[in-house]
Amino acid sequence: MTRTTRGATMVALGATVALLATACAGQGTGGQGEEETTEPGAPVTITWWHNSNTGDGKKYYDKVAADFEAANEGVTVEVSAMQHEDMLTKLDAAFQAGDAPDVFMERGGGELAAHVEAGLLKDISEPAADTISTIEPYMSGFQVDGASYALPFSIGVVGFWYNKAIFEDAGIEGTPSTMDGLYDVFDKLKASGTTPLSVGAGDKWPAAHYWYYNVIRECSSETLAAAIADVDYSDPCFVKAGEDLEELIDTEPFNKGFLSTPAQSGATSASGLLATGKVAMELAGHWEPGVMQGLTEDGTGLGDNTGWFPYPSIEGQQGTEFAQMGGGDAWAVSNSSPDAAVDFAAYLISDEVQQGFAELDMGLPTNPTASGSVSDPALSELLTVRDGAPEIQLYLDTLLGTSIGGAMNDEIALLFAGKATPQDVVDAVQSAAEAEM
């Protein structure tokens, strides 16, 4: 008995010493905000975190890093491929500790602005000017006060994914471009015994996308920009967006139990219901085919029956016609990183890298020379709409940042549950935005 107790104490003591040792070690490595000056040609190591951690995508990115090393003598790229959620958790921890990787993913909007304010990101407007001009249409969500902080490499738009076979069986020809047209589609689907839509309101953001789109349709982009800048959401178009949504919810198009349905996990999730033919449509982003493939046994999702059409227009809307809502990922560079890291981020947007990226269907390339390389037919349909859009509004929760975005999404979920009015949603956004001032 005595021996085990003592052994345990020694282990505990050892752990304490180890803790103290790491605590001391931790202090020596801090270097946030210090610019590392490097002589040209001197050896540099840059760290790169990405989330293509399986199959061809991972191999491709390893090759990209190797190519860059070969073309830039003395530069070593340390690649860390992680599962997406893991990467986000590790990034949060790295930001707190002040040792973020040199090149990493940003989603833009309020989150990026908060990182800029905390001094975590490098202003790359000058060194990456050429690249920025190539992808100009997608830059707005990644700029703060006119300075650019990240290079978007994949931008998608949200729209309705649908099952072509179910549409055909229900006698639906073409796809709707107005709300009334969409309601007709609901009626026809219901008449044929199919639930029209699934929505993962349990995760809130999929439900919130409806409200965002209505805002983009009902409010002009100037109104929206002014509302955000002045923290004043009193323009009636915001309430109108909620009223439009109530009207849609009243037609009861959603799957049974949508209030607790998750977005993407499992066969009874919103994506799962679409993938297994239980519903006809779902409002989702460019990730949907990939998610559906993971939710079907044969790994093909809806296969050839996958169709896509953009969010319909609303009669009398103030918003720009054919404006789309979406978002995506961008490469950002840490404030303390060497110049080679900016070069590497720019290299990732180059014609060559983006074409390979598109050929492997790893995302929707922002470099126009790569648009033609996307092979998936449904995705290239989406790309046509994206490239033709006069403006692409970032997802409102990303645009406004996690704090306002979270309050907004919660209130929209309440609207879906019939527990909040269109005015309540606007009030929630207003008060969360005021709390941020």
Contact residues for other proteins (CB under 8 A)?
A: 9, 12-13, 15-16, 19-20, 92, 95-96, 114-115, 117-120, 201-204, 255-261, 266, 268, 402-403, 405-407, 410, 413-414, 417, 419, 435
Decide whether 67 or 410 has the Cβ nearer to other proteins.
410
Nearest of 119, 124, 84, 123 to residue 105 by alpha carbon: 84
Task: Please check whether residue 344 is in contact with residue 103, taking contact to mean a CB–CB distance below 8 angstroms.
Answer: yes
Q: Give the C-alpha distances (Å, rounded to integers) separating 426 from 1, 227, 245.
A: 66, 11, 13
Least gap, CB of 19 to other proteins (angstroms): 6
Tell the smallest beta-carbon distance from residue 32 to other proteins (Å).
9
Separation CA 44–CA 431 (nearest Å): 47
Q: Whole-number minimum distance, CB 33 to other proteins, in Å? A: 10
Q: Where are the beta strands (DSSP E) in 71-226?
A: 75-81, 103-106, 143-144, 147-148, 150-157, 159-163, 195-198
Amino acid at position 6, single letter: R
How far, CA to CA in Å, does 181 sit from each of 184, 187, 228, 426? 5, 10, 32, 27
| Nearer of residues 59 and 419 to other proteins, judged by Cβ | 419
Q: How many CA atoms lie within 13 A of 30 on its CB side?
A: 7
C-beta closer to other proteins: residue 74 or 406 = 406
Helices (H), 124-235: 129-134, 164-169, 179-191, 205-218, 221-230
> Toward other proteins, which CB reaches closer, 257 or 294?
257
Count other C-beta atoms under 10 Å from residue 304's C-beta. 10
Residue 32 or 320 with smaller CB distance to other proteins: 32
The Cα 156–Cα 154 span in angstroms is 7
Nearest distance, CB of residue 196 and other proteins, angstroms: 15
CA 262/CA 245 separation, integer angstroms? 20
From the CB of 402, what's the least distance to other proteins, in Å?
Answer: 5
Q: Which is nearer to other proteins, 147 or 259 (CB)?
A: 259
47: helix, coil or strand? strand
DSSP-assigned beta bridge partners for residue 104: 332
Question: Based on CB atoms, which residue is closest to other proteins, 122 or 204?
Answer: 204
Whole-number minimum distance, CB 254 to other proteins, in Å?
Answer: 10
Tokens 């309601």 map to which residue?
183
Token digits of residue 7: 């052994």
Q: How far is the CB of 261 from other proteins (least distance, A)?
A: 8
CB of 386 to other proteins, least distance (A): 29
Complex with other proteins: residue 33 or 41, whichever CB lies closer? 33
Please give the angle made by the CA atoms of 422, 158 and 147, to the nearest 5 degrees: 90
Query: Which token pair is 240?
Result: 């109108």
In the complex, what is the shortest distance from the CB of residue 178 to other proteins, in angstroms, rounded to a whole number? Answer: 29
Between CA 346 and CA 354 the distance in angstroms is 11
82 versus 414: smaller Cβ distance to other proteins = 414
Shortest Cβ distance from residue 407 to other proteins (Å)?
Answer: 7
For residue 193, give both structure tokens.
Answer: 């015994």
CB closer to other proteins out of 203 and 343: 203
| Shorter beta-carbon distance to other proteins: residue 202 or 307 | 202
At position 24, the amino acid (one-letter code) is: C
Taking the C-alpha atoms of residue 252 and residue 273, their distance in angstroms, rounded to an integer, is 16
Measured from the CB atom, the residue of 292 and 400 that comes closer to other proteins is: 400
Q: CA 73 → CA 44, 45, 64, 69, 352, distances in Å?
A: 9, 11, 15, 6, 20
Q: How far is the CB of 405 from other proteins (least distance, A)?
A: 8
Smallest distance from other proteins to CB 260, Å: 4
